[in-house]
Homo-oligomer: A and B are copies of this chain.
Amino acid sequence: MPPVSKTTASKTNTGNFFEDFTVGQVIEHATPRTVTEGDRALYGALYPTRFAVPSSAAFAASVGLDPHPVEELIAFHIAFGKTVPDISLNAVANLGYAELRFHQPVHPGDTLSTRSEVIGLKQNSNGRSGVVYVRSTATNQRGEVALDWCRWVMVHKRTAATEGGDLDAPETVLPELKKTLAPEDLVVPAGLDFSSYDFSAAGEPHRFDDYEIGELIDHVDGVTLTDPEHMMATRLWQNTAKVHFNTEARPDGNRLIYGGHVISMARALSFNGLANAQLIAAINGGSHVAPAFAGDTVYAWSEVLDKAAVPGAGDSVGALRLRLVATKGRDESMTLRTDEGKYADGVLLDLDYWALIPR
């Protein structure tokens, strides 16, 4: 039998450290994953989603989407999960997202693969970690882009720089990322047509024109989180970050809830007030402001940040730029920040996205 130390080290993935990344490097992530109707059902069991397009094949067909697409966040979570073993297994923190665009609907039967290109690097002055910027692209089995996005993560160095050892730090490269995608950047699914949209079936009468910039919407309902549910969700996306599954991975014995679980929970809760914001076209950015744990009760509110026509989308489709805020405990005052500009207590998530809605 060979020595344990050798064999242990030789086969298992210990993830990439800051030193392993170079600008321009392309990483093909394992493993491709086929989306199924089972994913749709589990998503509906884990999140209180009721948006009519992903809920009903008949409704989806009535707005031009046939075959029946799954919720965009299913595609996002799957595509994102693939990047974890290569990009963020040794992450100190997920710092941000930008320029996330859905290029076409994803349907049961589609197989998603993800590839990332390193587009920026910056070693921290402490010599122990650095920020890695990647642009990740998920493609389907026909090689077509399903979604892409940028993300930056603080990653541990394998070996901390000794004093003066910053000499071997890579040249700092900072990518230019849009703070917000413009309406002309949005991709509207081929065939989407809200002109015979059934508001009654969809659940609310409010259309594009009924929302005003600056308007706040309290989504009212709350859901108390549990460990089995967030673990099932996170596993479904093949996201392997240990902190989500292993009570021995953190000193406090808690399982940290995957940030995407809170995004999906808040998006589903936002049905109550935004039932017609049917499709997510893009995510401009997002902050996981505070960690969430089992026992926390998540509520959500939204702010209308902008409104726009979408070039080429036809007269029936409008876009709302929305801030989606998840809170621990309900905040009827819908306060994002304190007077000092810090996030208010209880804020878990601050997400900025574009949704498509009937005009």
Contact with B along A261-279 (1 / 0, CB 8 A): 0000000000011110000
In the assembled complex, A52 has its CB within 8 A of some CB on chain B: yes
In the assembled complex, A73 has its CB within 8 A of some CB on chain B: no
Q: Given A50-B238, A272-B12, check contact A36 B41 (CB 8 Å).
A: yes
Contact of A275 among B30, B56, B222, B223 (CB under 8 A): B30
A83 CB to nearest B CB, Å: 13
Bound state CA distance, A48 and B241, in angstroms?
A: 11
In the assembled complex, A287 has its CB within 8 A of some CB on chain B: no
Q: Please indicate the chain B residues that have their CB under 8 angstroms from the CB of A1 in the complex.
A: 214-216
Q: Given A37-B38, A41-B42, check contact A246 B221 (CB 8 Å).
A: yes
B31 and A201: CB pair below 8 A?
yes
Chain B residue nearest to A53 (CB atoms) is: B31
Chain B residue nearest to A13 (CB atoms) is: B272
A222 and B236: CB pair below 8 A?
no
Bound state CA distance, A47 and B236, in angstroms?
A: 8
In the assembled complex, A245 has its CB within 8 A of some CB on chain B: yes
B215 and A242: CB pair below 8 A?
no
Bound state CA distance, A242 and B223, in angstroms?
A: 8
Q: Please indicate the chain B residues that have their CB under 8 angstroms from the CB of A56 in the complex.
A: 31-34, 111
Chain B residue nearest to A296 (CB atoms) is: B247
Contact with B along A1-35 (1 / 0, CB 8 A): 11010011001111000000000000010111110
Chain A contributes a number of interface residues (CB within 8 A of B) equal to: 90
In the assembled complex, A235 has its CB within 8 A of some CB on chain B: yes
Q: Please indicate the chain B residues that have their CB under 8 angstroms from the CB of A85 in the complex.
A: 203
Q: Please indicate the chain B residues that have their CB under 8 angstroms from the CB of A13 in the complex.
A: 203-204, 272-273
In the assembled complex, A46 has its CB within 8 A of some CB on chain B: yes
A273 and B11: CB pair below 8 A?
yes
A57 and B34: CB pair below 8 A?
yes
A45 and B235: CB pair below 8 A?
yes
B30 and A200: CB pair below 8 A?
yes
In the assembled complex, A260 has its CB within 8 A of some CB on chain B: no
Bound state CA distance, A226 and B2, in angstroms?
A: 36
Q: Given A38-B38, A217-B12, A224-B245, check contact A31 B2 (CB 8 Å).
A: no
Q: Given A32-B58, A58-B32, check contact A242 B216 (CB 8 Å).
A: no
Return 26 A-B CB contacts under 8 Å, by A number. A1-B214, A1-B215, A2-B214, A4-B332, A7-B217, A8-B216, A8-B217, A8-B218, A12-B219, A28-B200, A30-B201, A31-B275, A34-B58, A37-B108, A38-B38, A38-B41, A38-B42, A42-B45, A44-B235, A44-B238, A45-B235, A46-B235, A57-B141, A222-B245, A223-B245, A224-B247
By a beta-carbon cutoff of 8 Å, the part of chain A in contact with chain B is 1-2, 4, 7-8, 11-14, 28, 30-34, 36-42, 44-48, 50-52, 55-59, 68, 85, 108-109, 111, 113, 141, 200-204, 206, 210, 212, 214-224, 226-229, 231-233, 235-236, 238, 240, 242, 245-249, 255, 272-275, 295, 297, 329-330, 332-334
Besides A12-B273, A45-B236, 16 other CB < 8 A contacts? A1-B216, A2-B212, A4-B332, A7-B218, A13-B204, A31-B59, A33-B55, A34-B57, A37-B38, A44-B235, A45-B235, A221-B242, A222-B242, A223-B231, A223-B245, A226-B228
